[in-house]
Structure 1
Amino acid sequence: MSESKDVRANGITFHCRVDGPADAPWLVFSNSLATDLSMWDPQADHFSRSYRVLRYDQRGHGRTEAPAGRYSFATLLADALAVMDALGVAKAHFCGLSMGGATAMGLAQQAPARLDRVIVCDTPCASTPASAQQWEERIVVAQKQGMAPLVEPTVGRWFPPETLAANPQYLAKIRRMIAATPVNGFVGCAAALGDHDYRSAVASVTRPVLFIAGEKDGTTPAAMRQMQGELAGSRYVEMPGAGHISNLDQPDLFNRALDDFLRA
């Protein structure tokens, strides 16, 4: 069973997609900045055989409303819970990447009763003064020039040079997603990314956590290995050759890592 849904949650309308058997456990996927729920297509295809897969476009992304203003992660966490409420999801496994990964970690700390297993991908789970400055610079570009000037620099940060040279089909899809991101949504979520910290309380998490990072995602793998070392019982898996969008660079390995973790 597969259906597209628009639901009212936390004051705005969210676009969602639900795939898989009605009686299966819920598995939620949360997208990164400047993408939409279709970034999870390889995971939805695989996991909808065994799980009730919920994907949603985060606030300001895809076909979800994009209110003006700077968003906070408190709002993004409330959004995720409100979407789950609107669809009758009492408890779910939750997987997010980058902005979605920080959303997953925030929920694990603040709403553990709503989550079962948690998968945090390609995020250090905290901003730094340097990253906050970078986000402010990108916000100015988006406000003045729109998303077009941000497409190639973003793709260049997200994907290793050898992936760009090989030019897999999904790169064209990613470029379209970045270009199509509403400026309000980019600005709002970039502001949240420039001011968050779920890193310092990682040891307090009580849910089972799997950390995943692309091997070539800059300093992120080191940050995530450190978090895994601080969170008793958690796991860390590195995707060889993958960059920031590790689920698309290594979909089969990514799916296998999730499968192993969810069945543990």
Structure 2
Amino acid sequence: MSRPPIPADCLQPAPAEELAVHSADGTRLHVEVHGQPGAPTVVLAHGWTCSTHFWAPVIHRLADRYRVVVYDQRGHGRSEIPPSRARYSTRALAEDLSAVVTRVVPEGGRAVLAGHSMGGMTVMAGAARPEVAERTAAAVLISTGAAELIGEVRVVPDAVRSPKLRRFLHRQILRSRLPLGPVGPVSRAGLKYAIMGPSSPAERTEVAVRMVHACPTGVRANWARVLDGLDVRPGLARLTAPTAVVVGAEDRLTPPALAHRMVAVLADPQGLLLLPGVGHMAPIERPAEIAAEIDRMATTHLSGPRAVAAEAPATADSERTAVA
């Protein structure tokens, strides 16, 4: 069976600059800078089992007028794999973000931070750090949650009614150390069910599936352990920058209930954008709307240019809930 072709916007663009940034514990992080030197800066943090490649569709839509910075979370992509479990933690996520932001945003400057899934958790974990807070003009939290993930995951079919059993099964799936091996029909179908919307095109599903398969088994499992016990609510409560939240209506990993909980405690909420038919991988599934939401926040809070002025900030079937 032939693989679906990769959409043109999902092909990773060549960066204008590549950097090696070292975190507080010495872990080397791979950082890429795209777009226009001197333009307003946007920093994008990807999620669990992904890489800088994940943001390609969004980079293509922002790089004509923004300086777009992406980096591989530790253990992912071209960043260093930590040598021990102790170096996988929300504190490490915060320290990594701090190291990257400090390197790419000069003192006195500010950027829009956008994080998907574990990347959103990274933004929350690092929000209270002075070097991050001082450089954050606004934030966009995409397909993410602050705590109690296992209780909300919806991968196990609804036919399993026992909450205790559902939690057990979800924990086993999340922490599995089984190697995924080559992409095949079974893994493709299973991952599409778990991470994509039901009507997501085969080509975009293929991009997401290949990325997940490329993540080393040990890295996947070690981060799963962190996500299992995740609680970055203290950081969320201290996130004072204007913050928008985005979630797919069909997100099985971080369902809309988690998004509503985040909005309820944000210091300066800027609305909740619900994307009908979209699963967990919103920036791959609906990159135009994700780019437009980042652009909206940058235009409003960073005095930046409109990067995607020709594109509506939300399609007709999307729903943005304004928050007073």
Common topology (TM > 0.5): yes
Of the candidates 126, 130, 133, which is equivalent to residue 107 of structure 1?
Answer: 126
**Distance apart, 1:34 and its partner CA:** 0.9
In the alignment, residue 186 of structure 1 is paired with which amino acid? Answer: R
Corresponding position of 1:224:
259
Corresponding position of 1:3:
17
Q: Any residues of structure 2 matched to 1:68-217 within 5 Å, and which?
A: 68-70=83-85, 71-87=88-104, 89-90=106-107, 91-110=110-129, 111-128=132-149, 130=151, 137-138=172-173, 141-142=176-177, 145-148=178-181, 151-152=187-188, 153-163=190-200, 166-167=201-202, 169-199=203-233, 202-217=236-251
- Note the alpha carbon deviations across 1:124-165, whole angstroms, 9 max, x for none: 2213564685675246532xx3233995444321112222xx
1:139/1:54 Cα in 2 relative to 1: closer, same or farther (>3 Å)?
A: same
- Once residues 251 and 220 of structure 1 are traced to their aligned partners in structure 2, the CA distance between those partners, rounded to angstroms, is 19
1:20/1:149 Cα in 2 relative to 1: closer, same or farther (>3 Å)?
A: closer
In the alignment, residue 144 of structure 2 is paired with which amino acid? Answer: T
- Once residues 100 and 133 of structure 1 are traced to their aligned partners in structure 2, the CA distance between those partners, rounded to angstroms, is 25
Aligned-pair identity in percent equals 27
Cα RMSD for the two superposed structures: 2.5
1:88/1:231 Cα in 2 relative to 1: closer, same or farther (>3 Å)?
A: closer
Is the 2:238–2:267 Cα contact (8 Å) retained in structure 1? no
Larger radius of gyration: 2
**Distance apart, 1:41 and its partner CA:** 0.7
Q: SS where residue 284 of structure 2 aligns?
A: helix
Is the 2:49–2:215 Cα contact (8 Å) retained in structure 1? yes
**Distance apart, 1:231 and its partner CA:** 2.3
Corresponding position of 2:321:
none
- Once residues 117 and 198 of structure 1 are traced to their aligned partners in structure 2, the CA distance between those partners, rounded to angstroms, is 18
- Once residues 136 and 148 of structure 1 are traced to their aligned partners in structure 2, the CA distance between those partners, rounded to angstroms, is 21
Is the 1:68–1:184 Cα contact (8 Å) retained in structure 2? no
TM-score, normalised on structure 2? Answer: 0.72
Gaps in structure 1 of 5+ consecutive residues: none
TM-score, normalised on structure 1? Answer: 0.87
**Distance apart, 1:201 and its partner CA:** 5.8
Gaps in structure 2 of 5+ consecutive residues: 1-14, 154-166, 301-324
- Once residues 103 and 141 of structure 1 are traced to their aligned partners in structure 2, the CA distance between those partners, rounded to angstroms, is 22
- Note the alpha carbon deviations across 1:226-254, whole angstroms, 9 max, x for none: 32133253121112221111111111122
In the alignment, residue 146 of structure 1 is paired with which amino acid? Answer: P
- Once residues 192 and 89 of structure 1 are traced to their aligned partners in structure 2, the CA distance between those partners, rounded to angstroms, is 31
- Once residues 18 and 213 of structure 1 are traced to their aligned partners in structure 2, the CA distance between those partners, rounded to angstroms, is 26
1:19/1:140 Cα in 2 relative to 1: closer, same or farther (>3 Å)?
A: closer
Corresponding position of 1:61:
76
